[in-house]
Structure 1
Amino acid sequence: MVKRQYWLLGGGLSLAAGLWLMDGLTHTLVQVGELTFTGAAALVGVWWLYQRSTRTANPGTPDPGLTRAQVDQTLHQTQQVLDALSQELQPDLSHHVPLQAQALTLQTQKNHLSLDCDRPQLRLAVVGGTAVGKSTLIQGLQQRWTGTPTLDCQEQTLALGQDPQYWQQFDLILFVTPGDLTESDRQWLQGLRHGVGGSTDPQSSLPSPALVVALNKLDHYSPGQQATLLTQLCHRLQGWVDPVNIVPIAAAPDPIQVRRQSSDGTWHQSQEQPDPALSPLIDRLGDLLQGDPGQQLLWGTSYRLAQGLQRSAHTALNQVRRDRAMALIDRYQWLAAGAAFLNPVPSVDLLAALALNGQLILELSRLYHKPLALHQGQELAATLGELLVKLGLVEISTQALASVLKTNGLTFWAGSGLQGVSAAYLTRMAGLSLVEYFQSLEGEAEATTPAIVERLRPILHQVFSLHGQTERLQAFGQTAVAHLKGLQPQAKSPLLY
């Protein structure tokens, strides 16, 4: 791969040097046929370079590892998530009207996608800036493409603010440029490179469609410039777009002046329109779209779309479950607050144990369909309490809340009231961390408490950092104080362990 790319770059430079020499001579040569001698030499030379690269290897062909069974399995998994979403929406339809509408839309898209795997057409997005020749190129492709499957070519103007998920629907993207890449071109292509979704995180990005780059309007440049441009594009896209998928074309060559000698020896000059030079692109598309490679592209599109639907369904499902989880967390945080307020504890260790109730952990695990055993929930509560103390999160939170309460003139709450607010806060932070943990699971929960704690450790840090901001602490402290004011300190309540 690397050797072939370097050979291509070297060949491009050599071709450029040779054509520059020829260019100096062509001004005195007679123009014949439909292309000038210079233009013909340039196009033939570039085409020769292209043919050499295609014979060496064919790495631009879609990955043959994807099978129809994998696509069907992904569609089945997507349906399972949609079924779970529909089932969990039923008890609270009135509270989740937007999510209900989204679930119906996702189900419709999934039903359509199940049929889309066998469609007879391949979808091509012909993308580029303004006046790069997209419309003319589409016309030329429609007139000259005689292969199977048929092509559904859709013209798309380059737009940086466009929803990146839009490009998931296409089997192949044909990017058209009349010269070197502009800054807008590079930004758009860079977003596509990182997966449709524009994220640099491979966990959150989906693979992008196949990409072919067409260097159009080749007839506007001298032979040396033509070869230089091709070499520049290969260099800029090296390691991402294989040179075999960077194709030189002239979709609508400018008219040329042709001189012909009559039988009486006189010369006549006329203007003629050359035929479009699309053969390299037609041949490359034939390699990519016909037979098994084309089937792979179609399956790849269905696979990407199914993955996207599955993620959207998971997001909606997690939203439903998160709403219910927050109700649980609210209930248990106020129970912990009341217990600490009415039964002050002497140490941060007991405060942490009070805040982490094993029953909350069990209820959250059942809510997310990752059920834990009773003993595992109790053990996890104790272990997490110890972790909160070791990480210093209990002490830090208590000090921060004391500062917030004092700033608001609530010094009365420096004793049992502060412990009540702290217990509620720790319960909330632990509950939110558990929600993030369960939402991150793709399979079953870890089998052992140490494994769960290891996954929870960075999540705890993230949640405490996010919610430890002064504004959030002030808002929570005021809410907690308002709640505790209704309790009677003389009353006794058992500690919540």
Structure 2
Amino acid sequence: MPVSRIVTLIVGLIVILGLSLWLIDSLSRLYWQFSYSAPLLGNLLLLLFILLIAALIAVFVYYVLVIARGENRQRQRRQRPSVQVPAAKSEAASSTLDAVRQQVAQIQDEVARQALLSKSREIETNLAGGEIQVVVFGTGSAGKSSLVNAVMGRMVGKVDAPMGTTQVGQTYCLRLKGLERKILFTDTPGILEAGVAGTDREQLARELATEANLLLFVVDNDIRQSEFEPLRALAEIGKRSLLVLNKTDLYTDEDKEAILARLRQRVRGLIAASDVVAIAANPQPVHLENSEIFQPEPEILPLLRRMAAILRAEGEDLVADNILLQSVRLAEEAKKLIEAQRRRQADKIVERFQWIVAGVVSVTPLPVVDMLATAGVNAQMVVEIGKVYGCELNLERGKELALSLGKTLASLGIVKGAIQLLTTALQLNVATFIVGRAIQGVTAAYLTRIAGKSFIEYFRHDQDWGDGGMTEVVQRQFQLNRRDEFIKRFIQEAIARVVKPLQDSEVLEEENEKARD
């Protein structure tokens, strides 16, 4: 119990006892005076005396109980761990991680799968009670390392040995009074450095910044556009930031206030005015009149106060927000890997079916439009592409989709355009006598490719053609697959898969005819 409360309690007891003695003496005299002349009045005074003493005792007991209850509450608050991660955000992060694990199970690349699982376990650890990550970010000349050194010298609590390497920055583990979580204080490589190595270091710095719970963005003057862009990008993903103006010892008070005003104006809407603070992490030495050099102490108290206030008031929310952000980013990464995997599988299906169709048509020539209308082979391709994207279709539904797309190809003039395009390309690469038979097979392969690529887009978007409908998707695929570099590759492969077998069959027929003759 605090000394002030003990003193108050003792003084209160003395006052109560003094009043009690005075009342007892006064009332006893009155009682004896009235007991002879007015016994009833004397008895009433005695009753009043008893009630008054009881009231004094009740007040004393109540006061003691209130103090005891207050002490218990304070003890419970000291024993109780810091506020837990807000339930709603915690549940959202857990749900996202469960979804990630389900997605990871679909990834075939073992290295990528294990990497995602490792990240998900790390996020779960932070969810259960990890550290608060404070990251110092900015250009190499802004004085980030000086800021870190100054904070290390002034921060209350234990400072462990530095972790990490100079290439990715150094991290210190701190303890702040009033916070149960540890604080990881990280100095990152500078941004906007020249050369390939500088670009690589900046990428590492940005990755560390995106994982921070609290970001200290350090500048040494008015913020440049090249500095503002990464700050805005980090703020837009919800990163809690402080903008720190360093090296204020180089400016007059008037200039310092002018720079602070400009900074607060530039970051309005991204960072609150109270979160723009001025410091001098490593003040310049001062030459005294007696030729001695005086080294001023770092002026970082405004930053320490603001950091402490934010971490104590918002620490758990910052952790929860960051965990949820990291969970969502991990889910997006898993989704991209699955999307790339599905795309590769679907492309292989299209590649296989386009040459199957080419072989069938080149051996048994059919009008291309009729082949597309029949859509027998293409129906199977649609079913297999749908299966890759988790859509189970029967052949009948596959035929309906293939027929619909075939009619769209014909109505848009893509069939005719494809014949003209490929005829010209084949005439430049193949002897004239074989073009007639090859053109239908190669065109069928080309149209099947456009159809297959269109269906990939359809299934990628949950069986939805989009606002422009099937027509827009088909036209876009036709434009993508008519580029010169693609046509050259396609014709070379078509020669190997379609034209060469036709040439071989021609030679074989001639040899058979000669043998019969």
Contact preservation (8 Å) 1:66, 1:299? no
Match of 1:221 among 251, 269, 292: 251
Q: Which residue of 1 aligns with 2:155?
A: 144
Q: Which residue of 2 aligns with 1:156?
A: 188
User: Is 2:138 the partner of 1:128?
Assistant: yes
Greater Rg by CA: 2
**Aligned ranges for residues 20-59 of structure 1 at < 5 Å?**
none
Q: CA deviation at 1:440?
A: 4.5
Contact preservation (8 Å) 1:349, 1:389? no
Identity of aligned residues (%): 28
Secondary structure in 1 aligned to 2:188?
A: strand
Q: CA deviation at 1:107?
A: 1.5
Q: 1:463 to 1:167 in 2, by over 3 A?
A: farther
Q: Which residue of 1 aligns with 2:443?
A: 422
Q: Which residue of 2 aligns with 1:304?
A: 325
Q: CA deviation at 1:166?
A: 4.3
Q: 1:393 to 1:116 in 2, by over 3 A?
A: farther
Amino acid in the other structure paired with 1:460: V
Contact preservation (8 Å) 1:332, 1:427? yes
Q: How many residues are aligned here?
A: 389
Q: Which residue of 1 aligns with 2:281?
A: 251
Which stretches in structure 1 are left out of the alignment for 5+ residues? 1-63, 90-98, 196-206, 260-267, 492-497
TM-score scaled to structure 1, two decimals?
Answer: 0.69
Q: CA deviation at 1:403?
A: 1.7
User: Is 2:126 the partner of 1:116?
Assistant: yes
**Aligned ranges for residues 321-360 of structure 1 at < 5 Å?**
321-346=342-367, 348=369, 350-351=371-372, 354=375, 357-360=378-381
Q: CA deviation at 1:337?
A: 1.1
Q: 1:457 to 1:209 in 2, by over 3 A?
A: farther
Q: Which residue of 2 aligns with 1:288?
A: 310
Q: Which residue of 2 aligns with 1:5?
A: none
Match of 1:181 among 197, 205, 223: 223
Q: CA deviation at 1:457?
A: 4.7
Residues 187-246 of structure 1 deviation map (CA, whole Å, 9 limit, x = unaligned)? 5435545x6xxxxxxxxxxx2532221011222111221122112222332333332322
Contact preservation (8 Å) 1:405, 1:477? yes
Residues 17-74 of structure 1 deviation map (CA, whole Å, 9 limit, x = unaligned)? xxxxxxxxxxxxxxxxxxxxxxxxxxxxxxxxxxxxxxxxxxxxxxx99611111111
Q: Which residue of 1 aligns with 2:239?
A: 209
Secondary structure in 1 aligned to 2:191?
A: coil
Segment drifting more, 349-358 vs 383-392:
349-358
Q: CA deviation at 1:80?
A: 0.5
Q: 1:364 to 1:329 in 2, by over 3 A?
A: same
Q: CA deviation at 1:357?
A: 1.2
Residues 58-97 of structure 1 deviation map (CA, whole Å, 9 limit, x = unaligned)? xxxxxx9961111111111100011122xxx3xxxxxxxx
Q: Which residue of 2 aligns with 1:167?
A: 209
When you count helix as a share of all residues, which structure comes out higher?
2
Q: 1:462 to 1:211 in 2, by over 3 A?
A: farther
TM-score scaled to structure 2, two decimals?
Answer: 0.66
Amino acid in the other structure paired with 1:168: T
Q: Which residue of 1 aligns with 2:477?
A: 463
Q: Which residue of 2 aligns with 1:313?
A: 334
Aligned Cα root-mean-square deviation (Å): 3.4
Q: 1:236 to 1:298 in 2, by over 3 A?
A: same
Residues 410-464 of structure 1 deviation map (CA, whole Å, 9 limit, x = unaligned)? 43354342121011011122222323443444xxx45xxxx57956554434433
Contact preservation (8 Å) 1:384, 1:453? no
Contact preservation (8 Å) 1:81, 1:313? yes
Amino acid in the other structure paired with 1:357: N
User: How far apart, in 1, do the equivalents of 2:130 and 2:121 lie?
Assistant: 18
Secondary structure in 1 aligned to 2:501?
A: coil
User: Is 2:406 the partner of 1:392?
Assistant: no
Q: CA deviation at 1:155?
A: 0.7
Contact preservation (8 Å) 1:329, 1:360? yes
User: How far apart, in 2, do the equivalents of 1:362 and 1:301 lie?
Assistant: 41
User: How far apart, in 2, do the equivalents of 1:348 and 1:181 lie?
Assistant: 63
Contact preservation (8 Å) 1:125, 1:153? yes
Q: Which residue of 2 aligns with 1:83?
A: 105
Residues 97-153 of structure 1 deviation map (CA, whole Å, 9 limit, x = unaligned)? xx2222222222222221121334211111122242222322333423534244211
